[in-house]
Structure 1
Amino acid sequence: MADVESSDAASVPTFAVTAAVGAIIILIMLVCSVGRGNKNKSEKEESESTEETTSKKNEKTEKQGKKPKSQKPVKRSHSVHFTHPWLACNLKGHSGSVLSLDFSPNGKYLITASDDRTVLVWNTKDFSRKEHKSVRGNVEYDHATRVKFSPDSKAFVCSLANENTVRIFRIGKKDSGGIGNISAAFDFEKKHSADIIYIGIASNGRFIMTCSNDTTLIIWSIKGDVLETIDTRQMNNSFGAVSPCGRFVASSGFTPDVKVWEVGFDKVGGYTGCKRAFELKGHSAGVYSFSFNSDSSRMASVSKDRTWKYWNTDIRYEMNQDPYLLKTGSIDFEFSSPCLIVLSPDGRSVAIASENSVSVHNAITGETEETFSSVFAGEVTDMSFDLTNKYLVCSGDRHVSVFNNITGYRASIDDLQEKLKSSNTQAQKERIKQQISEAQESLEKLLGQSNGHAGGKNE
């Protein structure tokens, strides 16, 4: 009996201790809960206070005629900020990579095509100004890879990336005379099995050319009918073009030559067929690309053999006369990708691009005048001289860089000085001297205080 009483007496303190500990734990939990509640209340009040303060600041800013600063993170551009004494301006407006460009035959406009599914038409008069406005056209459900103006500058054709065919666009006109709406007219039927890499349209408006990266070159009517399909037999095509005179189509590829065909029409405009006209032979490796001057009397080509060549194509090809090689130049910069070459309309300047570098050469002397390195972050996608020989434009990244054609001015002065030596009359000499003086003044104005030969810089 005594043992039982002793056991009961011992259990009482244990129960009391357990109850006390439980009470303490509950008390601690209550204190913590109250603390968290006060903290949340304090944070809420602080947040509301901050929002009220910000709101008051924004109201004050708006009353002062200013917009509150955006809290969104600023997106940094990854493009190269290129500068050079020859650089006239940059044309910016596309949100995607610029793939192709072309000048209108009337010289007033430049059109650019991008993978952002748009084309932009720029006024060439704005090249010398600070602001560069453009008119936008949309390429629905696709994007243009190549673009070319029509002969009347009222329409343009483009090759489509996804559909791999040609689409015709019309350019409207405002009452004020400016460019109006740009609208799609119709698509050609798909005929190429390989990707279209280049397109062209004849200056007489009689045909359109498409060139794919196999060995196919197609001649179309402007209504989209296939007039002829040519097998270039070059293993693959690397380049294709229509001559500015509208008489020829040409292609280059794996073989070390450029093949040129004459596209025939009768007096009433009926198609009579294509026949081989002439070839440019002289390179030791495949020809990357080629270019005509304005009247097709001169051509330039660039090859995998690291040379470019300047040709006299003012020949009687119907009597089997071959083009004359006038100059052979070398490519000074390192490259591992195909090159693009363009010849100025007057045939005096040559520009060559590979990867993100561009070199400018005097076609008459064959000398390299200037090299622009790292013009873009990516590759140069297209290049052209304007019809007045004043500008060289290059596309890459999301913009177009417009360069003054300093080489063209210098070549003009050299040409005038040669004419001065052979002039016969005093009146003729005075007129040539005046032309030289005007050309030199224009050149000095463009170059400013620079010596005209300075490497590009990345800021």
Structure 2
Amino acid sequence: MELAALVALTLLLGALVALVALAVGKRKEEIREELEHAAEFTAESNVVKGREASKKQKPEKQQRSRKDKPTQHTFSHQLLAASLKSHSGNITCLDFSSNGKYLASCADDRTVRIWSTKDFLDREHKCLRANVELDHATLVRFSPDSRAFITWLANGDTIRIFKMSKKEDGTLNFKAGPEDFPQKHKTPILNIGIAETGKFIMSASTDTSILIWDLKGDVLAAINTNQITNSYAAISPCGRFVASCGFTPDVKVWEVCFGKGGEFKEVTRAFDLKGHQAGVHAFAFSNDSHRMVTVSKDGTWKLWNTDVEYKKQQDPYLLNTVPCVSSDGSLVALSPDGRVVAISDGSNVAMYNATSGALEEEIHAIHSGSITDIRFDINGRFLACSGDKAIRVFHNAPGYRAAIKDMQEMLKKAQNEGMKQRLQQQIAEAQNVLDTVLNAPKE
């Protein structure tokens, strides 16, 4: 009996010690998270220090919760420039600012992260956090002046605007607008955007509706796409057009018209992209809006010349049709110069030469789940993909190859000696960058 009592007492004391250790560990974790939250709104140097402090405590955290958390997805690739990993929730959307300085990302962790693109090739990747109070954002888009961004609220089903301002120490401060936009959509949202002209905001949902808003939250126009369901919609980089695709095998493009005084006039049909044999998953514009790429359920992507006089009934020109692998949820990105097409399929990405249609790169298992967004930066140097809790940033090697090939063709036709020398120098510089990327050690 005494032995049994002694064993029971020992087990009881062991359980008490374990409970105390667990409580102390939990409190330490809460304190650490509070310190991280404060550090991110101080100088950027402090953000980096906060991350280093977090790393020191990481082994203890992993030891406590190893059984509770799934194994982190590991990934390496020759073209991988950076892996951005500050989000604690699943990332749903990316956007590069038009000044090229920032990358915005939003996740279901109730934050929007603003990353510095100049840090992509560094060991440390700085970012600042904007909290989405009492909700989380599923979409984020920068304003044309890169001083604000808009978000779509998951629970609120509406748009919230955040203004960005610099504090005295040079870091960014984020302030939400006094009121969210009114709720108007009746089905889940697909995309939002701000025109580069700054004149309107667009939102599109999975039914057949697209709304055109002014910046104060008043609806200027409603578009019925008549496509049974929408699968994607976006504003063109020039800020003149809104386009949509869906169940039908075409892409419809409208012009949003304003008067000379800046007042809204009307939305008129501009042109259609016709030629696919099945519904269109998604599309993308080049930076000058003169090219569009579409990816369809028919197993092809198509490149179009959209620099046409549509008011004179001139139709866009089909430039290329290329077989590809795609599936529901596939996304497409077109490099700003129109030279490279990137298409996602699940957790994989294929990169093509837009002119020849040649498959240049296949990158597999980038994330543990499907890719949620894919975008080229404004200079066409990088391709960013989001999925799970990470952002993968890749060097745009196909873009460098295409640029070198184009300049070599120009060199053959150049008559002026000065032009030849400039082209030779530019070819050498591009080749040097490409060689550096391809010979860099893998992460």
Do both proteins adopt the same fold according to a TM-score greater than 0.5, normalized to the shorter chain?
Answer: yes
Preserved contact between residue 160 and residue 176 of structure 2 (Cα < 8 Å): no
**Deviation larger for 150-159 or 73-82:** 73-82
| Corresponding position: 1:391 with 2:382 | yes
Q: SS where residue 434 of structure 1 aligns?
A: helix
| Corresponding position: 1:305 with 2:302 | no
Q: Distance in 2 between matches of 1:77 and 1:132?
A: 24
- Offset at residue 76 of structure 1 (A): 4.5
- Offset at residue 186 of structure 1 (A): 2.5
For 1:401, the equivalent position in structure 2 comes to 392
- Offset at residue 297 of structure 1 (A): 0.5
Indicate which of 357, 363, 366 corresponds to 2:357.
366
Give the letter for the 2:64 counterpart.
K
Q: SS where residue 158 of structure 1 aligns?
A: strand
Instruction: Report the structure number with the largest CA radius of gyration.
Output: 1
For 2:84, the equivalent position in structure 1 comes to 91
Q: How does 1:285-434 map to 2 (within 5 A)?
A: 285-331=278-324, 333=325, 335-434=326-425
Q: Distance in 2 between matches of 1:370 and 1:344?
A: 14
Unpaired segments ≥5 residues, structure 2 = 22-55
Query: Which whole-Å deviations, capped at 9, do the CAs of 1:416-444 have from their partners, x for residues lacking one?
Result: 00110110112211111111011100100
| Corresponding position: 1:122 with 2:81 | no
Preserved contact between residue 170 and residue 185 of structure 1 (Cα < 8 Å): no
For 2:186, the equivalent position in structure 1 comes to 193
- Offset at residue 138 of structure 1 (A): 1.1
Give the letter for the 1:177 counterpart.
G
- Offset at residue 40 of structure 1 (A): 6.8
TM-score, reference length from structure 2: 0.86
Give the letter for the 1:261 counterpart.
W
For 1:24, the equivalent position in structure 2 comes to none
For 1:107, the equivalent position in structure 2 comes to 100
Q: Distance in 2 between matches of 1:123 and 1:439?
A: 24
Q: Distance in 2 between matches of 1:398 and 1:40?
A: 45
**Deviation larger for 176-185 or 392-401:** 176-185
For 1:231, the equivalent position in structure 2 comes to 224
Preserved contact between residue 79 and residue 397 of structure 1 (Cα < 8 Å): no
| Corresponding position: 1:250 with 2:246 | no
- Offset at residue 141 of structure 1 (A): 1.7
TM-score, reference length from structure 1: 0.83
- Offset at residue 83 of structure 1 (A): 1.1
Q: Distance in 1 between matches of 2:4 and 2:435?
A: 76
Preserved contact between residue 167 and residue 185 of structure 1 (Cα < 8 Å): no
- Residues 434, 163 of structure 1: CA spacing in aligned structure 2 closer, same or farther, 3 A cutoff? same
For 1:212, the equivalent position in structure 2 comes to 205
Q: SS where residue 64 of structure 2 aligns?
A: coil
Give the letter for the 2:92 counterpart.
L
Preserved contact between residue 80 and residue 374 of structure 1 (Cα < 8 Å): no
For 1:72, the equivalent position in structure 2 comes to 64
Preserved contact between residue 249 and residue 260 of structure 1 (Cα < 8 Å): yes
- Residues 327, 79 of structure 1: CA spacing in aligned structure 2 closer, same or farther, 3 A cutoff? farther
Q: Distance in 2 between matches of 1:39 and 1:441?
A: 72
Indicate which of 139, 145, 155 corresponds to 1:146.
139
- Offset at residue 175 of structure 1 (A): 2.1
Give the letter for the 1:219 counterpart.
I
Q: Distance in 1 between matches of 2:240 and 2:11?
A: 79
Preserved contact between residue 136 and residue 182 of structure 1 (Cα < 8 Å): no
Percent identical across equivalent pairs? 49
Q: SS where residue 125 of structure 2 aligns?
A: coil
Q: Distance in 2 between matches of 1:282 and 1:369?
A: 25
Q: Distance in 1 between matches of 2:319 and 2:225?
A: 26
Q: SS where residue 400 of structure 2 aligns?
A: helix
Indicate which of 267, 280, 283 corresponds to 2:276.
283
Q: Distance in 1 between matches of 2:243 and 2:354?
A: 21
Query: Which whole-Å deviations, capped at 9, do the CAs of 1:34-90 have from their partners, x for residues lacking one?
Result: 55566678x59997xx99xx9xxxxxxxxxxx9996762435543421111011111
Q: Distance in 1 between matches of 2:84 and 2:244?
A: 30
Preserved contact between residue 78 and residue 440 of structure 2 (Cα < 8 Å): no
